[in-house]
Amino acid sequence: MLKATLNAKENVDFKKFTKLVSYLKKVSVGNHPKKSKVLTREEVNQFLTEADDETYLMVKVVLILGISGACRREELTKMTVDDIEDKNSILIVKVPDTKTNLQRIFTVSNLDYIDIYRKYAALRPSCATTRRLFLKYQNNRCFNQVVGLNCIGKMPKLIANHLKLPNSDAYTGHCFRRTSATLDKVGRDVCVLKRHGGWNSSNVAEGYVEDSMNNKIQISNKILDCEISGSSATTSTEVTYNSITDNSLPTPKTTVSRGELQLSGLGINIGSCTGCTININIVK
């Protein structure tokens, strides 16, 4: 932040001051920047299911689009009705005016979520003088008044308060973007994550992923499943001899013990063969 500020305001190249750079790196060790808290998949589903449409219908649509497309609050604010194409069983959404100037397109395929969007879109007044998607919503009515940036940014806090989550103030306008990155990351390649959120840097993309307990549990399950399947595998050893006609060859003696195969007559010793099938063909 200091480097960017000095470069923009004072036209000073921060990299020239090598001692200062080293000092700042030293004093910043152990510093953990504050980031928005994220919503779990269960919390998202709970809010979409239990929240009253009369009060939270617009918030539900913002939540669906924000998480599905890893949208910033600025992108949600500028989104227009022309950016969304309804294809009956799927919504195709274009993200307008991205910060990184990378065009992003995402889809919403959950039919329940699509129905929520259609319910809100149907309330759009015919006299609307703007193409902006999000208009003021109150008591099952939409008014010809656009929803501002700060209003969009406060919606994660409204969701947290409705779900009675602790420390609701920590759910900021970046909550939707971080939640999307966290839910998308498990089992995914970082390149897919970068394309999803429009990040140029892998480090920045990884920084959006919350080190949540849910992710740890999923990773643990994958690791344990692999170990369990490996440990439960049985040892199968098959030894075949084909066309042994030379009497000078010694008669092999086979001993299988604790996953180790020994052919003492031929001087062959194969260890650590648990879970393996070994075929040995001795041909003159």
Q: Tell me the pLDDT tens digit for each residue of 37-85.
A: 889 889 999 999 999 999 999 999 999 999 988 888 999 999 999 999 9
User: Span 120-124, mean pLDDT?
Assistant: 94
User: Span 200-226, mean pLDDT?
Assistant: 59
Asked whether residue 47 is domain-assigned, the answer is: yes
Residue 97 CB partners (closer than 8 Å, separation 6+): 74, 75, 78
Start-end of H helices in the chain: 2-9, 18-27, 41-50, 53-68, 73-78, 111-121, 149-162, 175-185, 190-197, 202-207, 213-231
User: Span 22-35, mean pLDDT?
Assistant: 78
CA separation for the pair 131, 79 (Å, rounded)? 9
Based on the fold, state whether residues 109 and 246 are members of the same structural domain: no
Closest C-alpha to 209, from 180, 173, 168, 166:
180
Report whether pLDDT(212) > 90. Answer: no
Based on the fold, state whether residues 114 and 251 are members of the same structural domain: no
Based on the fold, state whether residues 181 and 240 are members of the same structural domain: no
Percentage of residues in the chain having pLDDT higher than 90: 36
Report whether pLDDT(246) > 50. Answer: no
Region of poorest pLDDT, from 32-41, 44-53, 179-188? 179-188
Contact 102, 85 (CB under 8 A): no
Based on the fold, state whether residues 257 and 136 are members of the same structural domain: no
User: Span 268-280, mean pLDDT?
Assistant: 62
Strands 104-108 and 135-138: unpaired
| Distances, alpha carbon 164 to alpha carbons 153, 167, 174, in Å | 18, 9, 19
pTM score:
0.64
Task: Give residue 203's pLDDT.
Answer: 58
CA separation for the pair 170, 189 (Å, rounded)? 28
Based on the fold, state whether residues 178 and 114 are members of the same structural domain: yes
Asked whether residue 188 is domain-assigned, the answer is: yes
Mean pLDDT of the chain: 77
Based on the fold, state whether residues 195 and 94 are members of the same structural domain: yes
CA separation for the pair 225, 222 (Å, rounded)? 5
Task: Give residue 199's pLDDT.
Answer: 59
Based on the fold, state whether residues 107 and 181 are members of the same structural domain: yes
Based on the fold, state whether residues 148 and 253 are members of the same structural domain: no
Based on the fold, state whether residues 105 and 173 are members of the same structural domain: yes
Number of domains in the chain: 2
Asked whether residue 68 is domain-assigned, the answer is: yes
Residue 107 CB partners (closer than 8 Å, separation 6+): 68, 90, 91, 92, 93
Domain limit, last residue, from 196, 211, 226: 211
Strands 268-270 and 277-282: unpaired
Helix (H) or strand (E) run with residue 88 in it? none
Based on the fold, state whether residues 152 and 241 are members of the same structural domain: no
Tell me how crowded residue 212 is: count the other CB atoms within 10 A of its CB. Answer: 17
Asked whether residue 11 is domain-assigned, the answer is: no
Domain that holds residue 133: 41-211
**CATH number of the domain residue 59 falls in:** 1.10.443.10
Task: Give residue 259's pLDDT.
Answer: 45
Based on the fold, state whether residues 66 and 161 are members of the same structural domain: yes
Asked whether residue 151 is domain-assigned, the answer is: yes
Based on the fold, state whether residues 177 and 56 are members of the same structural domain: yes
Looking at residue 127, its amino acid is C
Q: Tell me the pLDDT tens digit for each residue of 156-173.
A: 999 999 999 999 999 998
Region of poorest pLDDT, from 76-80, 150-154, 185-189, 276-280? 185-189
